DNA sequence: AATGAATGAGTATTCATTCAT
DNA sequence: CATGAATGAATACTCATTCAT
């Protein structure tokens, strides 16, 4: 019987995310999670095999949510430029609206833990990104450079922008985003008419 | 009375870096450091007040080394483009030749620990980068966009490149770097003659 | 879920008392208590928040037991002299029959620990003693001297007596006690008919 | 060479007494003593074999000082009553003027440590007290009760008085002392003319 | 399913003491 | 003589996990 109590499960996730955000992965403990989630720590073991299992599933869950957020409003007929714009815009929205989730991902990403968890590749989630690059290259709109490199010109500046917005708690600044998009597009697009 | 032994101090640093790299900040412990450095854990406390103190000093040390590496071969008379090229090249060299150090920094950066350590701003180390951006903007060569945003178009792709090189353990690929530099320059430079 | 086990709790108390008696408060440690009580030291933390909490509760428990022992066989209609006799007798009995407890209290009393534990005043326990003094003074049977001073003439000689009995392990010597009572009474009572 | 540096020796004693007073025997450590005395902890081992040795010598030193303080102004020809008065007065003075010393003694006295130190009996120091009791009993002025018991009627009330004076930091209250002496004398003296 | 109790192994840190200069 | 360095053993306490109900 796998349904158990979904609210408890959610409480565990929420507590874990909050705590990773507040005290970091290194200070995280099962008992702290239990206390925050108002459960006995034994209860966590009803839902997860052990701490690793919990962290792994949490990571995959958030990563999955981010992956599907990235695909929002992406339609078949879109131009490469529209595609790129949408992906970057989706990324910004996701990070800004799920600040905690994003920062948790960051902690995972830089930790050897992520290797230890021998994660089934999460790459498929982001396959559409790679497909958009390939299409753009085929049509001559994007430079002939390794996809992950091209994507880094779109992804990291968006993160940089998002982080500066964390601090200033301003509303999403449309103009700033458009600037970033313009720069990224300058970086990755083939200048045809020269 | 015995003198403080610089080789012991170095052994502590080395052991700590190795371990952060292998098991991560979250699994790091004073006793593991001691064992790796072939010392009694009590000895670490001769050199550092406590774990926080050790980590802080390690972080500042590495950050400082990175900061000064970035300034290598930077001369007054350089053009903005040369400046940019040199910084990016220095960053790539530093990361490739000090892989471990860089990855340790990354773990620190994404951890709440870094806030807790209430580090005296390390920004000064990277002030020259900001100055180069300002100069470039004043001379009309760089786009009028927030400096940290412009820099993100230079820094992160280099990291991305370096990481792909970690895996393939190829020699530094001059051509790949030049490609990255070209893209970054497309992103940040003002296209004047259009 | 298992229920908290009162025998374990008792084992912790007993072990602690034995150890304070044998090695003293200053050499007492949680691991020694655990070993003596045949528990894991972690288990102690199921029952007590920390060492201070354990010691505080132990102190209050013993002090409480002593307080109520002092009130044994005290009735409303008793004369001041009978009152005094009973209190002194109760004190002697308590100390002799609970040698260890008493000696533990003594160690606490002389330690700065007792101040640190910021104990809610245990004075109420001994309020009846002070009331008996006031009554005796009102009726002119006791000298008009500060209560705590008068009581010291009853309390400490009893302790002295008890301690001499510890060593000689004789049975309670009725005659010796009567002598002590007589001296105490001589000290505190108003000599009316002179 | 035993002279070494007497000021260092004194610094160790002073630091130890202060610390026992402030944090108690249980929290006392060689390194704390060293830090307080502004010495290296290794230096303490030049003057004392180990911690036990230091504590033992400290205890004997203070006890000796108290012993000789008790004998001040005691002359051969004094009456038993004068003798008693002087002893009690000396005790009060000593405790009030050497509050810290006295409280340190108290911590030692109630600790099993004192037994462990297998102290050469300090009783000789207080032999004069016992001689005065014997003389008084021989002359019929003191009750025929065990000396240590009689003495407890003189000693403890004085302590009680001294402690109440600690708190109120009043000057030595002559009148209060006379009251205490009167009570003690009532307790121990033979009422001859009844 | 849920949980408080229980614990062996671990945590950071301090200890008393000795070493080497 | 004096001392900072060095350390094995101890300190109080927390951990991830399992047990018993």
- Comparing A156-160, B119-123, B135-139, the range with the smallest average pLDDT is B119-123
CA separation for the pair C99, C102 (Å, rounded): 5
For residue A164, the chain B residues in CB contact (below 8 A) are 146, 148-149
Per-residue pLDDT, A2: 45
CA(C4)–C1'(E10) in Å? 25
Whether pLDDT at C169 is above 70:
no
Asked whether the beta carbons of C128 and C151 are under 8 A apart, the reply is: no
Closest residue on chain B to A183 (Cα): B187
Closest CA to A102 of A151, A48, A156, A144: A156
Asked whether the beta carbons of D83 and D74 are under 8 A apart, the reply is: yes
Q: Tell me which residues of chain D, numbers 86 to 105, contact chain C at a CB-CB cutoff of 8 Å.
A: 103
Whether pLDDT at B103 is above 50:
yes
Token duo for residue B70: 């970035």
Give the angle C156-C161-C166 at the CA atoms, nearest 5°.
Answer: 120
Per-residue pLDDT, A161: 95
* CATH-assigned architecture of domain B1-48: Orthogonal Bundle (1.10)
Whether pLDDT at D70 is above 60:
yes
CA(D115)–C1'(E18) in Å? 28
- Comparing A46-55, B72-81, D136-145, D152-161, the range with the smallest average pLDDT is B72-81
CATH of domain A67-188: 1.10.357.10
Whether pLDDT at D2 is above 70:
no
Token duo for residue B166: 């970690």
CATH of domain B68-188: 1.10.357.10
Per-residue pLDDT, A194: 47
* Beta-carbon count within 10 A of D156 CB: 18
D29 near C CB under 8 A: no
Cβ separation of D25 and C25 shorter than 8 Å?
yes
Q: How far is CA B33 from CA A83, B3, C145, D18, D192, in A?
A: 48, 22, 66, 37, 81
* Mean pLDDT across C134-139: 94
Whether pLDDT at C10 is above 60:
yes
Q: Minimal Cα–Cα distance from B5 to chain A, Å?
A: 30
CA separation for the pair B164, B156 (Å, rounded): 12
- Which of the four CATH numbers 2.40.40.20, 2.40.30.10, 1.10.10.10, 1.10.357.10 does domain C65-98+113-188 have? 1.10.357.10
Whether pLDDT at C2 is above 80:
no
Token duo for residue A61: 């869950």
Q: Tell me which residues of chain A, numbers 138 to 167, contact chain B at a CB-CB cutoff of 8 Å.
A: 143, 145-146, 148-150, 152-153, 155-157, 159-161, 164
Closest CA to C106 of C151, C136, C63, C42: C63
Cβ separation of A149 and B109 shorter than 8 Å?
no
Rg over CA atoms, chain D: 19
Per-residue pLDDT, C23: 96
CATH of domain D71-188: 1.10.357.10
Per-residue pLDDT, D116: 76
3-state secondary structure chain A: CCCCCHHHHHHHHHHHHHHHHHHCHHHCCHHHHHHHCCCCHHHHHHHCCCHHHHHHHHHHHHHHHHHHHHCCCCCCCCCHHHHHHHHHHHHHHHHHHCHHHHHHHHHHHCCCHHHHCCCCCCHHHHHHHHHHHHHHHHCCCECCCCHHHHHHHHHHHHHHHHHHHHHHCCCCCHHHHHHHHHHHHHHHECCCCC
For residue D112, the chain C residues in CB contact (below 8 A) are 21-24
CA separation for the pair C92, C96 (Å, rounded): 6
CA(B27)–C1'(F16) in Å? 13
Per-residue pLDDT, B193: 55
Per-residue pLDDT, B80: 94
Residues near C43 by beta carbon (within 8 Å), at least 6 away in sequence: C8, C34
CA separation for the pair A47, A57 (Å, rounded): 11
| Strand E proximal to C191 Cβ, under 7 A | no
Banded pLDDT at D139 (limits 50, 70, 90): very high
Domains of chain D: which residue ranges? 71-188
* Mean pLDDT across C47-71: 95
CATH of domain A1-47: 1.10.10.60
Token duo for residue D131: 């001689």
Long-range contacts of the stretch C168-177 (C-beta < 8 A, 24+): C172/C92, C172/C93, C172/C96, C177/C88, C177/C89, C177/C92
Per-residue pLDDT, C31: 98
B178 near A CB under 8 A: no
For residue A146, the chain B residues in CB contact (below 8 A) are 164
Asked whether the beta carbons of D28 and D16 are under 8 A apart, the reply is: yes
| Strand E proximal to A10 Cβ, under 7 A | no
- Each residue's pLDDT expressed in tens, for chain A with a length of 194 residues: 445 688 999 999 999 999 999 999 999 999 999 999 999 999 999 999 999 999 999 999 999 999 999 999 988 889 999 999 999 999 999 999 999 999 999 999 999 988 877 676 788 888 989 999 999 999 999 999 999 999 999 999 999 999 998 877 666 688 999 999 999 999 999 986 54
Banded pLDDT at B118 (limits 50, 70, 90): low
Chains sharing 3 or more CB pairs under 8 A with chain B: A
Whether pLDDT at D117 is above 80:
no
Q: What mean pLDDT, rounded, does chain B reach?
A: 92
Residues near A164 by beta carbon (within 8 Å), at least 6 away in sequence: B146, B148, B149
Residues near A77 by beta carbon (within 8 Å), at least 6 away in sequence: none
Token duo for residue C106: 């003594």
Place of tokens 């301003």: A170
Per-residue pLDDT, D120: 67
Cα B98 to the center of its chain, rounded Å: 9
Whether pLDDT at C36 is above 70:
yes
Nucleotides of E under 7 A from a protein CB: 1-21
* Beta-carbon count within 10 A of A133 CB: 24
Helix segments in chain B, DSSP class H: 6-23, 30-37, 41-47, 51-70, 80-97, 99-109, 113-116, 127-138, 147-168, 174-188
């Amino acid at each position: 019987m796998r349904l158990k109590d979904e609210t408890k499960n959610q409480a565990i996730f929420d507590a874990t995310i909050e705590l990773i955000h507040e005290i970091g992965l290194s200070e995280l403990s099962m008992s702290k999670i239990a206390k925050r989630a108002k459960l006995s720590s034994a209860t966590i073991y009803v839902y997860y095999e052990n701490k690793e299992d919990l962290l792994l599933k949490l990571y995959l869950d958030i990563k999955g949510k981010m992956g599907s957020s990235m695909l929002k409003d992406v339609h078949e007929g879109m131009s490469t430029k529209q595609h790129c714009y949408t992906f970057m815009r989706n990324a910004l929205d996701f990070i800004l609206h799920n600040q905690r989730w994003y920062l948790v991902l960051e902690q995972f990403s830089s930790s050897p833990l992520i290797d230890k968890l021998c994660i089934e590749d999460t790459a498929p989630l982001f396959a559409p990104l790679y497909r958009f690059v390939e299409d753009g290259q085929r049509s001559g709109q994007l430079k002939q450079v390794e996809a992950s490199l091209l994507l880094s010109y779109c992804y990291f500046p968006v993160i940089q922008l998002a982080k500066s917005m964390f601090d200033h708690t301003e509303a999403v600044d449309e103009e700033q985003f458009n600037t970033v998009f313009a720069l990224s597009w300058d970086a990755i697009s083939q200048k045809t008419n020269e």
